[in-house]
Amino acid sequence: DAGVTQSPTHLIKTRGQHVTLRCSPISGHKSVSWYQQVLGQGPQFIFQYYEKEERGRGNFPDRFSARQFPNYSSELNVNALLLGDSALYLCASRRTPTVLAFFGQGTRLTVV
């Protein structure tokens, strides 16, 4: 079975641009969460989706949005990028929201 896959692995964007990050969960997993990891810190919770509905939102501005598709894959969108959005964005896959969480390799976003 494939693990959690995220794309792209790296990207560079300019301030003010928009970015879309993608995540495919492990087969059979219906819950996807997004985390932001700034260099030198632990991951911070952004969103959780389960069965295509938002089930939790962290303390992030409205520039951050996400959705989950019928096949349980997910997109994270960030508008009006700021330099401070530069981070590793991690996707976590779970069968249901409260059980073991498995992470992808992340997308490294650099905003210049």
Interacting span for another protein (CB under 8 A) from 19-27, 59-67, 71-79, 85-93: 85-93
82 neighbors 36 (Cβ within 8 angstroms): no
Binding test (CB under 8 A) with another protein, winner from 32, 72, 78, 94: 94
The percent helix, strand, coil of the chain (3-state, each to 5) is 5, 50, 45
Binding test (CB under 8 A) with another protein, winner from 48, 66, 68, 72: 48
Binding test (CB under 8 A) with another protein, winner from 45, 64, 75, 86: 45
Nearest partner of 86 among 106, 104, 69, 100, judged by Cα: 106
Binding test (CB under 8 A) with another protein, winner from 42, 62, 71, 83: 42
Residue 19: CB minimum distance to another protein, A: 18
Nearest partner of 86 among 64, 110, 61, 60, judged by Cα: 110
Residue 62: CB minimum distance to another protein, A: 19
